[in-house]
Amino acid sequence: MGDDYRAALAAAVREYETLGAARCDMDARLSQLAQTIGTLSKLLGLTATVPMGLTDACRLVLRGGVPMTPIDVRDRLAAIGHDLSIYTSELSAIHTVLKRLNEAGEIRIVPRPSGRHAYLWQAPPTAVAISPDVAEFIRREGVLQASRQRRPGARKR
């Protein structure tokens, strides 16, 4: 019965990791499409019916997967048509949002040789119940179990 549980756990971990990778790919593509839609809408003179807040707009541009400085974020926000004119200091507002997103673990700081750091979107967090160490253990155990089953006379745990 323990072998059945190990096999079920190994299958669940594999599916969890596969779905997580697929979600990362899908998030990146959705971000690209949202930026394209924003840019094309701006070029056509269309305005959004539901304005996006600064935090969500920063999330959107950072999900592209490229490290961005606050100036890069500002320029990209302007390119997709996000209205920054409501802020007295747009860079100050962007810095505040980036700081909060970093503290929340949604983005991380990437040091750069110039001394000015950039920000990079983080992959979705891994569930605490399945840490990378546990997942690696399960993968190793799955390999060990498979090799034991192939050898005649191998003892079961």
User: pLDDT tens-digit profile of 56-109?
Assistant: 889 888 987 789 999 999 998 888 778 888 899 999 999 999 999 999 888 999
Helical H segments across the chain, by residue range: 2-43, 54-62, 70-79, 90-103, 132-150
- Range in 43-47, 48-52, 103-107 with the lowest mean pLDDT: 48-52
What domains can be seen in the chain, in order of their start residue? Answer: 2-150 (1.10.10.10)
Give me the pLDDT at residue 118, please.
93
Give me the pLDDT at residue 38, please.
74
Give me the pLDDT at residue 47, please.
66
Burial class (CB in 10 A: 0-12, 13-18, 19+), 64: middle
Contact 83, 42 (CB under 8 A): no
Q: What's the CA gap between 20 and 4, in Å, rounded?
A: 24
Q: What is the CA radius of gyration of the chain?
A: 22
